[in-house]
Structure 1
Amino acid sequence: MRESAAERHDRLLGLVRDRGSARVSELAAQLGVSPVTVRRDVEDLAGRGLLDRVHGSVSWPQDTAHAAGAGTGGAGNGLVLGMLAPSATYYFAEVIRGAHEAAARAGARLILRISDYRPQEDHARTQGLLAAGAEGLLVAPGWQHPGDPSAFGDWISSLPVPTVLLERRPTAGSPLDGLDRVCSDHAHGVLLAVRHLVGLGHGAPLLMARADSPTALAVRSGYAEALTALGLRAPQDVIDSVPAELAPESFEEAVRALHEAVRSGVATAALIHNDVDAIQVVQRLAELGVRVPDDLALIAYDDEVAALADTPLTAVAPPKREVGRHATELLVERLGQGGGDAPRRHLTLLPQLRVRDSCGAPLP
């Protein structure tokens, strides 16, 4: 199977972490790819603060290395923290950045493993973090489907070091439910979006959403909760969305369903998860004669690239960076307590609605 970019990033980070620094040509030989590919990977990782670049070579971030040996005497001094994330790009890039910054401030070193949304590999990659010296763990399993927590999550509750779950809500009453966790309240984010559209004079908006991640599933359940809270009824069933690049025919079918809903007057507003899908939907709707915001008021969910659309998209912005920061601070605090009997915490952070052009003016 061809190695993904996320897996290659994981190997690259491991090589640099183990060596302290390395030249691009050396990394290319070790990874079995071209120097151009490595330079592109290094630029991406350095832009997220995960690596430092100096004259053709790359090194482990100096702020973390310096802080870890600064002798501050704080609870986090010299700690090694491990982080398992499903991806180092898109949504989780900001979560990782927040964790990295908080670790550096605490005088701790953060090491990273990427699962590329393969939950069956989470356990082995976490064992790799422990073998590398991690004294505490930040874990965002690569779950995608409703059954994944029970199928691929039991091992997390038996980890031998303090563990904080990131952006994951396990089944209530399960062993994982007793762990510390920090999450975005996606139901609140959806409520903000629906309330804003209704406040502009629209009826209940349509939801077009994926179903391939915990965030997508939370957006779907939050949509039903928001409609109930506001006394609204869905104009029609949720439109199932898929990545256009993976299933172009299914994506076209979803766009056609939204187009028909607008043209028939079923809906004048929509919420779309996620940003990338929303931008592609707007482009395709324009080709079909439906304009945003003139014919359809639209809000995207994630706010990763929504502001860069031709018509900047109003978007729900989960507090991704703050999730990483608060989770790391909680883990450092837990380690400072020596794993004592202090109550476990479930910290929920509220998304924000960033209003741009895609909603238009209030309806008369």
Structure 2
Amino acid sequence: MRESAAERHDRLLGLVRARGTARVAELAVQLGVSPVTVRRDVEALAEQGRLDRVHGSVSWPRQTAGPVAGGGGSPTGPVIGLLAPSATYYFAEVIRGAHEAAARAGARLILRISDYRPEEDRSGAEGLLAAGAEGLLVAPGWRSPDDPAEHGDWITELPVPAVLLERRATGGSALDALDRVCSDHRHGVLLAVRHLVGLGHGAPLLVARADSPTALAVRSGYAEALSALGLRASHPVIDSVPAELRPERFEDAVRALHTAVVSGGVTAALVHNDMDAIKIVQRLSGLGVRVPDDLALIAYDDEVAALADTPLTAVAPPKREVGRHATDLLVQRLRAKPSGDGEEAPRQHLTLLPRLRVRASCGALEGG
């Protein structure tokens, strides 16, 4: 069976840890891969703070020489493991926030990526524990509504404190009793819908994926937002998929949105996510539909929305803040002393509200 990147990273880390310092060329020979692959792995691991890189060599990270300024941290602070479904796009900012908070607390952050394979989450967490993690930040690679029940029970059995990141558990489940920090995507959708209605549009049409917890939350939030504002959708939700994976289905989504606009029934849309939104705007332009003239559009995620030819108004979940707050909460758990009666502090569910960043694509800036 082909070795995964995570497994190769573990072998690389093991070699460096055993030797203290190693050259990239030597690691390539020992790992049985090309120097280019090792350089990429080293770059990724160095960005995560798991290795130090200097002039063609890598070494095991040195302990912090002293407390982090202003953070009150210890040079021998806790080791925190972060299990994330991806280190790019949405979760890049979550990881960055966690890394910042860990550094401020004098803690060390180590990372494992599941590539949205929930069946591998447990082994990823075990790898973090084996690497010395004393507490875990866990963002499982769930995709479908059934994944928490099928691939979530192991989190409640962890031998160390854990905080869920950007994931909600079913009410009443054992997972629901864990600490968690999440963005309130339902509120984010409400911000977008209310903004478009305030500009004079009817119920906006939703174009959304269904392949992640965020996508599912956006979909459910859309129905709640329409109900809260007394609106009724004139068209069903348009199912979208990544254009690079299923170009024919992505084109179907574009065509469905184009038909809804030219028929005169839709003048506004919310699109999850903004990478899809940028591509949709480009395709609509080729079909004669202009944004914002013919269609006011808001994207969801705000990763690259501002970089579009027509900068996209976007809902921006507080991704970096989620990482920071979750890390702070976990550090508090790790350093907390039991109360006089031996009880630990109450568990926390912290929900952070997204912001709406208004740009040109919704038409609100015209003439301003």
Q: TM-score, normalised by structure 1?
A: 0.90
- Which letter maps to 1:95? V
Are residue 360 (structure 1) and residue 359 (structure 2) matched?
A: no
Matches within 5 A, 1:213-224: 213-224=212-223
Give the drift of 1:24: 3.3
2:86 equivalent in structure 1:
87
1:272 equivalent in structure 2:
271
- Which letter maps to 2:25? S
SS at match of 1:358: helix
Q: Distance in 2 between matches of 1:29 and 1:225?
A: 56
1:25 equivalent in structure 2:
25
CA contact (8 A) 2:94 2:321 kept: yes
Are residue 109 (structure 1) and residue 108 (structure 2) matched?
A: yes
Q: Which moved more, 1:239-248 or 1:125-134?
A: 125-134
Q: Distance in 2 between matches of 1:43 and 1:271?
A: 36
CA contact (8 A) 2:360 2:366 kept: no
CA contact (8 A) 1:166 1:183 kept: yes
SS at match of 1:171: coil
Distance 1:361-1:163 versus aligned 2 partners, 3 A rule:
closer
Q: Distance in 1 between matches of 2:163 and 2:92?
A: 18
Give the drift of 1:295: 1.1
Cα distance per residue 1:246-287 (max 9 Å; x no partner): 111111101100000010011111111111111111111111
SS at match of 1:160: coil
1:170 equivalent in structure 2:
169
2:344 equivalent in structure 1:
341
Matches within 5 A, 1:153-164: 153-164=152-163
Q: Which moved more, 1:331-340 or 1:284-293?
A: 331-340
1:286 equivalent in structure 2:
285
CA contact (8 A) 1:77 1:106 kept: no
Q: Distance in 2 between matches of 1:58 and 1:290?
A: 52
Are residue 298 (structure 1) and residue 301 (structure 2) matched?
A: no
2:314 equivalent in structure 1:
315
Give the gaps of 5 or more residues in structure 1. none
Give the drift of 1:26: 3.8
Q: Distance in 1 between matches of 2:57 and 2:125?
A: 28
2:57 equivalent in structure 1:
57
Distance 1:111-1:291 versus aligned 2 partners, 3 A rule:
same
1:34 equivalent in structure 2:
34
Of structures 1 and 2, the larger Rg is shown by 2
Q: Distance in 1 between matches of 2:128 and 2:84?
A: 12
Q: Distance in 2 between matches of 1:15 and 1:262?
A: 58
Distance 1:363-1:309 versus aligned 2 partners, 3 A rule:
closer
2:144 equivalent in structure 1:
145
- Which letter maps to 2:83? L
- Which letter maps to 2:260? A
1:331 equivalent in structure 2:
330
Give the drift of 1:335: 1.0
- Which letter maps to 1:175? A
2:121 equivalent in structure 1:
122
- Which letter maps to 2:356? L
- Which letter maps to 1:128? G
Give the drift of 1:23: 3.4
CA contact (8 A) 2:48 2:111 kept: no
CA contact (8 A) 1:7 1:114 kept: no
Are residue 351 (structure 1) and residue 350 (structure 2) matched?
A: no
CA contact (8 A) 2:73 2:104 kept: no
CA contact (8 A) 2:6 2:112 kept: no
Q: Distance in 2 between matches of 1:17 and 1:306?
A: 41
2:235 equivalent in structure 1:
236
SS at match of 2:332: helix
Q: TM-score, normalised by structure 2?
A: 0.89
Q: Distance in 2 between matches of 1:268 and 1:20?
A: 61
Q: Distance in 2 between matches of 1:20 and 1:296?
A: 58
Give the drift of 1:330: 0.2
- Which letter maps to 2:348? R
